[in-house]
Amino acid sequence: MNSKKKFIFTMLSIFLGFIVGGIIILSIGKSPMQAYKTIILGVVGKPQYISWTIVKAIPIILTGISVAFAFNTGLFNIGAEGQYIVGGIGALIAGYFLELPPIIHPIVALLFGMLFGAIWGAVVGFLKAKFNVNEVISSIMMNWIAFYSSNYLLSFNAFRKPESDQSYDVLESAKTIFLGKWKLSEAGQAFLKTKPVLKQFLRPPLNWGFIIAIIAAIVIWYILNRTTLGYQLKAVGFNKDAAEYGGIDVKKNTVYSMTIAGLLSGLAGAAMLLGVSHHIGVMASLQGYGFDGMAVSLIASNNPILCIPAGLLYAGLEYGGSKLTSAMNTPTEVVNILTGAIVFFIAMPKLFEMIRLLFTKKGAKKGENKWLI
């Protein structure tokens, strides 16, 4: 399927997803048009709504790029969730325990998060390359190891804030909030009083993570499409035997692929910790950013650049959909059904293609057997 057909089918899938969502909304006695109007206004109705959508899109864009990168190299990075968690831990360690100048500190903290995520992904890649352990199984296990390790970390007094279920905040010098100090200064507040729209737009924790996500998407697209490494990684994903016959080290490239994928998810965790939460807390369950990244990657047809609008769409549906409960007394599950329907319709052509290839192979085998007889 070429790029034009992929784009058309993606748009059609989104449309069909909205149709299914509309039917569900109608079945509970609500107006679909009013519901979709509420979602749209919940995203663009006020400047701060737009900012919140961008903030919520940052982690799923980056985890989406991570999953898309692995898919392009023939691997399934189900471990983006765990890589996201350890990326946040790495950023916390650098952001709290290191005292560095303001410009350097967030960069170092981001690098720590990327390093932790890369190591987490590399373990999965090594197990796959060395022992042929299925990356889906090992990455799921690594998710839970990251989850319980994060909670266990908060049992240490060095990390845990007294009489709370969360860690100490990172130092101010490590935070990546856009114009953070200026917004709190007298000059900043005086200026924003005269610019109410800008004041509302800057009210949420808008941070440099969105710019980082855009840069990451461009860099990953360039690696996959314009470098020798990208060619080798995609060749391994397309046909391992042919790649090995052509002199490509399959095992090494498998480790490279999962390491880079882990690095991206670790970057997502670091960006959110430095820009939004500033700490880690005791988790009752997995946060879901890695799994949402899989949906974003699928909506984007595994294209790193398209993960940006796909992430914004996904975040917009979730954030705008959260307004449905208060505005129309609509169950929040309706938005999840809507998102699931979109992903389902996007996945359908891949399913049909798999079925077509299966029958083609069976037909070819029957033809060979007939010729032999």
Does residue 89 lie in a domain region? yes
Is residue 5 very low, low, confident or very high in pLDDT (cuts 50, 70, 90)? confident
Q: What is the pLDDT of residue 17?
A: 82
d(CA 274, CA 208) in angstroms, rounded, equals 9
Q: In this model, does residue 265 exceed pLDDT 80? A: yes
Assigned domain for 211 exists: yes
Which residues pair with residue 207 across a beta bridge? Answer: 177
Residue 165 falls inside a structural domain: yes
**What is the pLDDT, as a whole number, of residue 365?**
53
333-361 residue pLDDT tens: 777 787 777 777 776 765 555 556 566 65
Provide the residue range defining the domain that includes 189: 59-306
Mean pLDDT of all residues belonging to the chain:
89
**pLDDT band at residue 320, thresholds of 50, 70 and 90?**
confident
Answer whether residue 163 is part of any domain: yes
Give the count of domains, the chain. 1
pLDDT at 275 over 80: yes
Per-residue pLDDT at 314: 92
Q: Residue 287 domain-assigned? A: yes
Asked whether residue 51 is domain-assigned, the answer is no
**pLDDT for the residue numbered 351:** 55
Flag whether 49 is in a domain.
no
Q: Which residue is associated with the tokens 């908060």? A: 154
Q: What is the pLDDT of residues 75-116, one digit of tens each?
A: 999 999 999 999 999 999 999 999 999 999 999 999 999 999
Q: What is the pLDDT of residues 127-171, one digit of tens each?
A: 999 999 999 999 999 999 999 999 999 999 999 999 899 999 999
The residue type at 118: A
CATH code, 292: 1.10.3470
Nearest to 257, CA basis, from 356, 110, 126, 111: 126
Terminal Cα-to-Cα distance of the chain (whole angstroms): 36
In a domain, residue 245? The reply is: yes
